Chain A
Amino acid sequence: EAQVTQNPRYLITVTGKKLTVTCSQNMNHEYMSWYRQDPGLGLRQIYYSMNVEVTDKGDVPEGYKVSRKEKRNFPLILESPSPNQTSLYFCASSLSTASYEQYFGPGTRLTVT
């Protein structure tokens, strides 16, 4: 089944404790992206990647890192999480650029205390 998976689905952590949210797709998509969703603000793009070893900042990249060492994986790294990073995070992928349907993962609800 074609899908985007994220892990973990739920995470409660403390300020400053490094964490990684994994994202994987099995559709051989070149484009992958991370968004955060907050009430009243919609979806805001954090980082995106056009292909392996190519990543770019989105709208709200501060406090986040990403890597794209393999085509299928696009992990999101929070080196020192803070409470303002409490949010619902979605990973998405699309065929070759953002000009195609983006398939979203199930979401990761992160709480930073």
Chain B
Amino acid sequence: GENVEQHPSTLSVQEGDSAVIKCTYSDSASNYFPWYKQELGKRPQLIIDIRSNVGEKKDQRIAVTLNKTAKHFSLHITETQPEDSAVYFCAAKRNNNDMRFGAGTRLTVKP
């Protein structure tokens, strides 16, 4: 089955710095890669996603890159702000529509 590994498990940055979270997946048939943000005590919410026919996608301060050959994808947050502090989850979806999530990265942005 699909395995999604996410690194690092915790990340602390100064406000204004960039943050990068990386994920690898094992099933080469995976074709959809979303990123979810979960604030403390809240439900996960989609922040950005990328499909397997695209190498990069950007939405304001957030970008995702996908390397299908190496089977890894990354989340990049620039100019971080305290409100970016949360747990971030990557995920990979296979053809049969099951979804596998990474274990999560707790991002702390220090003012």
List the interface of chain A (C-beta within 8 A of B). 31, 33, 35, 40-45, 48, 50, 56, 58-59, 90, 97-99, 101-102, 104-107
Contact = CB atoms under 8 A, between A and B. Distances in A.
Of B31, B43, B99, most buried by chain A (CB within 10 Å of CB) is B99
Contacts of A43: 44, 89, 91, 101
Contacts of B103: 40-42
B111 interface: no
Interface of B: 1, 6, 9, 31-32, 34, 43-46, 49, 51, 89, 91, 93, 96-104
B43 A90 contact: yes
Contacts of B96: 56
Contacts, number: 58
Contacts of B31: 99
A59 B98 contact: yes
A75 B100 CA distance: 21
Contacts of A59: 1, 98, 100
Contacts of B6: 42
Contacts of B9: 40
A85 B102 CA distance: 20
B100 to A, nearest CB: 6
Nearest to B46: A101
Given A90-B43, A101-B46, A106-B43, A48 B99 contact: yes
A104 B100 contact: no
Contact of A42 (B46, B49, B104): B104
A41 B99 CA distance: 14
Given A42-B104, A45-B98, A56-B96, 4 more contacts: A35-B101, A40-B103, A98-B32, A104-B44
Given A101-B34, A105-B43, A106-B43, A44 B101 contact: yes
Of A42, A48, A102, most buried by chain B (CB within 10 Å of CB) is A42
